[in-house]
Amino acid sequence: MNFSIFKLTLILLFSFLTTSSFAQFGEGWEYKKETDGVKVWTRTPDNSDFKEVLVKTSYTSRLSTLVAVGMDISSYVRWVYSTGEAKVLEEVSDTEVIYYSISEIPWPFEDRDVVLRSRVEQNPDTKVVNIYSEQVTNYMDPKEGVVRVPELIAEWILTPQEDGTIEAVYYIKTDPGGAVPAWLMNLFVDRGPVESFGGLRKLSKEEPYKSIKLDYIVD
């Protein structure tokens, strides 16, 4: 790559980071890679050695479809990276749930579990959808042989585009707890989002998700 092309690439990346949905997550992001149309950025926060992750791709789909998959907790074992179990603990409303999830971690480390509260919001003017998720403490007792995740914050931003596609941006900050070294987790931090986004793309083309219409979402 010559210098001019490299410089143009940096300018385009900076423009994207400052004008898109990424802007709300601040600065300091390092571009990692693009695989199958999924772009990944990472950042090391001041208060943790575990990297935050930002992911972006686009879907030829509808908002109702993507939200339906995202709020169908039991489907996570089919598309969310390393998920071994996922179940709803409480349906707070049509747009809010509390759920339990187990992530399978390779030996010799123990699996991780977490209790999360997820809620969906849509801006009535822009139609942009946000799905917020955050760990819930003291909701259920820890399981033997599984490490409870002490911190997890995640957000989906689904933005309709003029060409009919949906821009999907995903942010996650987590501390897996236990004895997993940060350097080891950071080596694979970009693998999960790429596989999960690919799984979501595949599942969104299947019924009943493909044709579903959610009452609380304006497509």
One-letter identity of residue 54: L
User: May I ask the CATH class of domain 29-203?
Assistant: alpha beta
Task: Find where tokens 């879907």 sit.
Answer: 59
**Residue environment code for 121-145, b if the CB has 16+ CB neighbours within 10 A, otherwise e:** ebeeeeebbbbbbebbeeeeeeeee
12-16, 113-117, 168-172: which has the minimum mean pLDDT? Answer: 12-16
pLDDT single digits (tens) 138-188: 999 999 999 999 999 999 999 999 999 999 999 999 888 887 767 666 667
The full set of domain ranges for the chain reads: 29-203
Triad 209, 214, 216: Cα angle to 5°: 150
In what helix (H) or strand (E) does residue 106 lie, and over which residues does it extend?
none
In what helix (H) or strand (E) does residue 203 lie, and over which residues does it extend?
helix 191-203
The model carries a pTM of: 0.86
pLDDT single digits (tens) 27-50: 789 898 899 999 999 998 888 888
Q: What is the pLDDT of residue 68?
A: 97
